[in-house]
Amino acid sequence: MSLSDREIDWALVQRVQNGDMRAFEALVNKYQRKVGRLLSRMVRDPDDIEDIVQDSFIKAYKALNNFRGESAFYTWLYRIAINTAKNFLVASNRRPIALREGNDEESETFDDSDTLSDMATPESVYSSRQIAATVNKAVEDLPEELKNAIVLREIEGLSYEEIAEVMGCPIGTVRSRIFRAREAISERLKPLLDRSGDKRW
């Protein structure tokens, strides 16, 4: 995210703090889909996601007077959204997920960009789908703090500094969590990669 975007967000926040509701609507319009996409990695039901997104923005609005612009608005908002989703999952006694299962579009993108050769055989297609499914399952089975770190890094594309802000921990902890997550995923992939002879992972 460029500095100019951060400055625009801060200007909108200051307008909200001065009572301008239209400025808050602008922030909601800008980040609603991004927050929803982030939460879809943790929660399955689309209706639940929509409720959590709304709840996150309500909490953000109520807390906005305390926001001083020391971090980017969107990392502050992501942190609120992740905590809101965690609280929802605990209250409803559900286990968080990392990646939605059975999403053919995402699977196709994963397969095509990362594992299929130009001359794909049925065997290689099957193998690549196995790899995609194994990665998804491996991420889903990670402890929550590792899962959130790897999703924010690999799927949302946040920097280590931004993830540290979102997760409220030192950057060294973020690096350690991402390293451990990647190690765990690699371990799960080893049997498939040894069998296929694909050493790129």
Question: What mean pLDDT, rounded, does the chain reach?
Answer: 78
Per-residue pLDDT at 97: 53
Same-domain pairing of 108 and 83? no
Token digits of residue 84:
């809101």
Which of the four pLDDT bands, split at 50, 70 and 90, describes residue 99? very low
Which of the four pLDDT bands, split at 50, 70 and 90, describes residue 105? very low
Domain boundary among 65, 91, 117: 91
The pLDDT of residue 67 is above 60: yes
| Residue among 200, 196, 182 at smallest CA distance from 142 | 182
Per-residue pLDDT at 102: 36
Same-domain pairing of 150 and 177? yes
For residues 83-96, average pLDDT: 80
| Residue among 124, 115, 51 at smallest CA distance from 81 | 51
Whether 86 maps to a domain, the answer reads yes
Same-domain pairing of 121 and 158? yes
For residues 76-94, average pLDDT: 87
* Cβ-based burial of 105 (10 A; exposed 0-12, middle 13-18, buried ≥19): exposed
Whole-number Cα distances in Å, 113 to 106, 125, 131, 133, 146:
11, 12, 13, 15, 25
Q: What would the pLDDT profile of 141-172 be if each residue is shown by its tens digit?
A: 888 888 889 888 887 888 888 899 888 889 99
More confident residue, 26 or 93: 26
Per-residue pLDDT at 22: 92
Which of the four pLDDT bands, split at 50, 70 and 90, describes residue 119? very low
Here the CATH number for the domain that contains residue 174 is: 1.10.10.10
3-state class of 157 per DSSP? Answer: coil
Which of the four pLDDT bands, split at 50, 70 and 90, describes residue 103? very low
Whether 17 maps to a domain, the answer reads yes
Count how many domains the chain has: 2
